[in-house]
Structure 1
Amino acid sequence: MKEKPKVVCIGSAIVDIEVLSKEETKEPKKGEISYFPAEIKQRAGGVARNHAEALARLGIDVYLISAFGVDLNGDPDIGATFLFKKLEGLENLVCLQICIGIIL
């Protein structure tokens, strides 16, 4: 029986922040202040994370290695927790210990 392939994805895992306008917007005139209602969404992203998710959904055993920095909220665990929750339920994906910074 052929052995199942294993893949290691090394690279970025980030949180994309999207701001979506709820109505048509126009450029304000000079000196005018413009406000518009918007919806802010966070989505899991990053090339390595996206590839790891896609490969895991195809049934391939995947290991994801990614460094995490301090996010806008000042806590690296917030971003990491959000990203890894998006990968829950993928049995063949292993996210290795979270590293902060770069190891040479």
Structure 2
Amino acid sequence: MDSSSVQERLNAVFRYLLQQPCKAKLVLHKVLLTSRQLQKQEAVEPVIIGGMVLDIHATPSIPANPKTTTPGKVNYVLGGVARNVAECMSKLGAKPYMISALGLDMAGDFAFYFVVS
């Protein structure tokens, strides 16, 4: 992949992120490093951009009957490809920085609470 293609993709990501409405004041800086600059640094922290979702695991306590209410147990688990990758990297000792979109709903509030705290 040539540098102009990489630059075009980065510019597209920056344009997309900057046009999104946000209640908090978001400061986004372009940081472009060459391979020589990366070799000079001692530690590089990975940045992961992608999805973070709330997975809902529902398990019935009795066999389900169609068109009826079935009692059971519901668990909420954070998921999403990017979040899972970030978690695995942190378990391996890295300190990833994750960028993801959160909805203004119950799932977004849940994810924000558990990721930030």
TM category (shorter chain) comes to 0.5 to 0.7
Is 1:38 matched up with 2:72?
yes
TM-score (norm 1): 0.61
- What SS does the aligned partner of 1:70 have? coil
Task: Flag structure 2 segments of 5+ consecutive residues without an equivalent.
Answer: 1-40
Q: 2:86 maps to which residue?
A: 52
Shift of 1:76: 4.2
Q: 1:69 maps to which residue?
A: 103
Q: Superposed, which structure 2 residues align to 1:1-104 within 5 Å?
A: 3-26=42-65, 28=66, 33-71=67-105, 73=106, 76-82=108-114, 84=115
Alpha-carbon RMSD across the aligned residues, in angstroms, is: 2.4
- The CA deviation string for residues 78-104 of structure 1, in whole angstroms up to 9 with x for no partner, is 43113x16xx6xxxxxxxxxxxxxxxx
Task: Describe the shift of the 1:37–1:76 C-alpha distance in structure 2 as closer, same or farther (beyond 3 A).
Answer: closer
Task: Flag structure 1 segments of 5+ consecutive residues without an equivalent.
Answer: 89-104
Which residue identity lines up with residue 50 of structure 2 in the other structure?
G
Runs of 4+ in 1 over 3 A off after TM superposition: 2-5, 75-79
Which residue identity lines up with residue 9 of structure 1 in the other structure?
I
- Rounded to whole Å, the distance in 2 between the matches of 1:69 and 1:35 is 29
Shift of 1:23: 1.9
- What SS does the aligned partner of 1:55 have? helix
- What SS does the aligned partner of 2:87 have? helix
TM-score (norm 2): 0.55
Structure number with greater Rg is 2
Q: Looking at secondary structure, tell me which structure has more helix per residue.
A: 2
Task: Describe the shift of the 1:25–1:76 C-alpha distance in structure 2 as closer, same or farther (beyond 3 A).
Answer: closer
